[in-house]
Amino acid sequence: MKTLVGLFLVLAVLVIVPAVEYAFAAGAEPGEYLDRRVVIWNLFFRMMTIAFVVGAVVSGTIIWQVWRFRESHPKAKPTPYEGTDW
Partner 1 sequence: MVLELQKPRPIWQIMFSTHHTDVGLLYLIMSLGFLFLGGALALAIRAELFLPGAQIIGDAMTFNRIFTVHGTTLIFLFIIPFASAVGNYFVPIMVRYKDMAYPKLNAIAFWMIPPSGALIWLGFADFTWYATPPYSIISAPGPAADMWIFGLKILGISSVLGSINFVVTILKCKHPDMSIGQVPLLAWSFLSSSLIILVAIPTFAAALLMLLTDRLGVTGFFNPAMGGDPIAYAHLFWFTFHPEVYVLVIPAIGMMYEIIPRFSRKPIHSYGSGIFAFVLLSIVGFSSWAHHMYATGMSFTEKTVFMVGTLAAVPASALHVFNFVATMWNGRIRFSTPMMWAVGGIALFFSAGAGGVANAAMPLDFTTHDTYWVVGHFHLFVMGTIAFGSIGYLYYMYPYVTGRMYNEAMGKVHFVMSFIGTVLVFFTQHVLGLYGMPRRIFDYPPIPEWIAMNQIASIGAMIIGVSMVIFLVNMVYSSGKGKPANPEDPFGVGGKYYYPFEAKNPSH
| Closest to partner 1 by CB, 9 or 14 | 9
Say if residues 23 and 40 touch (Cβ distance below 8 Å). yes
Longest CA–CA span in the chain (Å) reads 71
Residues lying near partner 1 in the complex (CB under 8 A): 1, 4-5, 8-9, 12, 16, 20, 23-24, 33, 36-37, 40-41, 43-44, 47-48, 51-52, 54-55, 58-59, 61-62, 65-66, 69-71, 76-86
Q: How far is the CB of 5 from partner 1 (least distance, A)?
A: 6
Q: Is residue 82 packed enough to be buried (19+ CB in 10 Å), middle (13-18) or exposed (0-12)?
A: exposed
Sign, CA torsion 70/74/77/78? positive
Q: How far is the CB of 72 from partner 1 (least distance, A)?
A: 9
Q: How far is the CB of 48 from partner 1 (least distance, A)?
A: 6
